Amino acid sequence: MSLKSEFHQAAQLLEAAQTVSVIGHLRPDADAIGSVCATVSALRQMGKDAQGYIGQEDPMPENLLTIPGAAEVQFGTSLPESDLYVVCDCGSIERTGAFQEALTARAESTIVVDHHATNPGFAKVNLLDIEAESTTTILYEWFDSLSIQITPDIAHGLYAGLLTDTACFRWGRPIMHDMAKELMEFGLNIRSISAELLDQTSVDDLRLVGQIISKIELHQAGPYTLAVLVADYDTINGRSKAVVEGLIEMVRAVDGADFGAVFKEYTPGEFTVSLRSAQLSVGHLAVHLGGGGHIPAAGYTARGSEFEALDTLISATVTLGESLQRTSPATN
């Protein structure tokens, strides 16, 4: 997919701007924070007054603070006035959280950079590539068109997004390995980055994981089998969100299941639901339920009791039936 014309339009918006707010999605992951930090650094290199923001009051997961520049990203509900807004890794404007209303009113001065298949494009310029393994993959190409000098800090942010959104390079195009090689040439300690983002844990975290996965269940949803984990509010309140978010990888490939779901009750009566599948288009399922994402990895929000939330997912799966079948393997 060629983005050359969109890159040119984005460059024109950048040229006319001095202050730039760079925004990542709610409950940020490494692709969101890596994208925000790399973009802020690149824009400052261009002489712009750039700052990163996340539209929520809950703080950043500690493991993401290892990404250079992450400690400077501001979390809150107030988005300052800027000449330009760059929204990274948000599959829909709802994913910008508290900034949704402000960005809706400022669409003409907004650039979106994203790789989610369900993104409708909600900005003046939309740098969208659904084949890209991560949003940082698109940014790497965009930075090249802007003649940005890749520094070790920028390379770290870009690599963090690529590493985690491919689940340590388990899927993606051959080009992702070329990108990783090029980024490694900036002196990245990839063993350390992987450990910081994916491996480091504590005894309490392991006990939390064990407590939740011990309750895994299989449910029939029409012709499909669903593996389910429920992380209820009483169990996860005040615990590591990075650990809770990582639970989805444990149900992705459960033997005998067509897809997996993790229900995370961060707020009483409201579940953030993550879906994963190697066989089905869970992105299609998530859109049906008001969310979005990729073909094999998506999510949405459910409200009500644990049983009501699960019943809604099963009913939607039954309704969509064979339309969830993928015709070919997805790369992201």
Contact between 96 and 75 under an 8 Å Cβ cutoff? The reply is no
* 299 in any annotated domain: yes
pLDDT in tens, the chain (332 residues): 468 899 999 999 999 999 999 999 998 999 999 999 999 999 999 999 999 999 999 999 889 999 999 999 999 999 999 999 999 999 999 999 999 999 999 999 999 999 998 899 999 999 999 999 999 999 999 999 999 999 999 999 999 999 999 989 988 999 999 999 999 999 999 999 999 998 778 899 899 999 999 999 999 999 999 999 999 999 999 888 888 988 998 888 799 999 999 999 999 999 999 999 988 999 999 999 999 888 888 999 999 999 999 999 999 999 999 999 976 555 55
DSSP 206-233: HHHHHHHHTT-EEEEETTEEEEEEEE-H
**For residue 24, what are the CA distances in angstroms to 60, 207, 302, 311, 323?**
12, 30, 22, 31, 31
Instruction: State the Cα–Cα distance between residues 54 and 58, nearest whole angstrom.
Output: 9
Instruction: State the Cα–Cα distance between residues 50 and 70, nearest whole angstrom.
Output: 13
* 331 in any annotated domain: no
**For residue 31, what are the CA distances in angstroms to 39, 143, 188?**
12, 16, 17
Q: Are strands 74-75 and 84-88 parallel, antiparallel or unpaired?
A: unpaired
What residues does 87 pair with on adjacent strands? Answer: 23, 112
Are residues 165 and 222 part of one domain? no
- Give the CB-side neighbour count of residue 95, counting CA atoms within 13 A: 28
- The CATH code of the domain that includes 316 is 3.10.310.30
- The CATH code of the domain that includes 31 is 3.90.1640.10
- 113: phi then psi, degrees, rounded to nearest 5: -120, 115
C-alpha angle 133-229-233 in degrees, rounded to nearest 5: 105
Are residues 181 and 122 part of one domain? yes
Enclosing domain of residue 30: 4-198
- Number of folded domains that form the chain: 2
DSSP helix/strand/coil, 292: strand
- pTM, two decimals, is 0.85
